[in-house]
């Protein structure tokens, strides 16, 4: 029986969360970084988003990470993002995000959110290529936002809904696994024993 492994990858901007290129754009794919054909993505990340992407060779782990709480025995697998937005958020805007906002595909679940200064971010940030668009007359802010579901482009739509357009989106953690000090384009492979699998919520 093969060993259950989990790969933490710091996905660069412009890389698709798939191995095969079935589009006509200029984005690269995961095949530029991985040759292990047993790996599958556990929770996609848009090409224009950066940060933590998890891959695994175990379907049980994939299901535990990607399925919403109701389909996962009530376990909440939170995903935390560092979000650079245009403008300075008000207390009212932050409260709306905490309570959940109504999008076209329904109301979002309550989210955890706090505003951070760039100095308080959990890791030093790299320069994005291409850089974000900036308007000198409008300041930007950083938010740390944790959601417990996976609607399409959810974080971007949530912040836009309350009047805070997203300029940069970096996924920091998924289901307790963090990006930590991984450089852009780097990955680390973790082997999961039975104890680790139980902690993650996987039934052996």
Q: What is residue 196's predicted lDDT score, i.e. its pLDDT? A: 81
Q: At what angle do helices 154-161 and 91-99 cross, to 10 degrees?
A: 140
Place of tokens 């999008």: 103
pLDDT band with cut points at 50, 70 and 90 for residue 198: confident
Q: What is residue 17's predicted lDDT score, i.e. its pLDDT? A: 93
Cα separation, 81 vs 119, in Å, equals 16
CA dihedral 140, 12, 77, 176 (to 10 degrees): -90
pLDDT tens profile 58-111: 988 888 888 754 545 445 678 999 999 999 999 999 999 999 999 999 999 999
For the chain, the C-alpha Rg in angstroms (whole number) is 17
Q: Which active-site residues does the annotation give?
A: 46
Mean per-residue pLDDT over the chain, rounded: 89
Cα separation, 62 vs 72, in Å, equals 11
Mean pLDDT computed over 39-49:
93
pLDDT tens profile 103-147: 999 999 999 999 999 999 999 999 998 999 888 888 999 999 999
């Amino acid at each position: 029986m093969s060993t259950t492994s989990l790969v933490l990858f710091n996905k660069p901007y412009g890389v698709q969360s798939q191995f095969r290129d079935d589009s006509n754009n200029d984005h690269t794919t995961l095949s530029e970084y991985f040759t292990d054909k047993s790996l599958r993505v556990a929770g996609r990340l848009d090409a224009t988003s950066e940060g933590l992407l998890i891959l695994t060779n175990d379907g049980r782990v994939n299901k535990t990470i990607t399925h919403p709480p109701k389909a996962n025995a009530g376990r909440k697998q939170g995903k935390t993002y560092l979000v650079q937005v245009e403008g300075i958020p008000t207390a009212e805007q932050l409260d709306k995000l905490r309570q959940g906002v109504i999008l076209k595909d329904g109301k979002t679940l309550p989210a955890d959110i706090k505003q951070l200064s760039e100095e308080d971010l959990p890791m030093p940030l790299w320069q994005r290529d291409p850089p974000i668009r900036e308007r000198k007359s409008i300041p930007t802010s950083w938010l740390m936002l944790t959601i417990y579901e996976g609607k399409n482009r959810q974080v971007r739509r949530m912040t836009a809904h309350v009047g805070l357009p997203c300029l940069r989106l970096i996924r920091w953690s998924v289901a307790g696994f963090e990006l930590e000090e991984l450089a852009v384009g780097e990955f680390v492979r973790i082997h999961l024993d039975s104890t680790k699998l139980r902690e993650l919520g996987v039934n052996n």
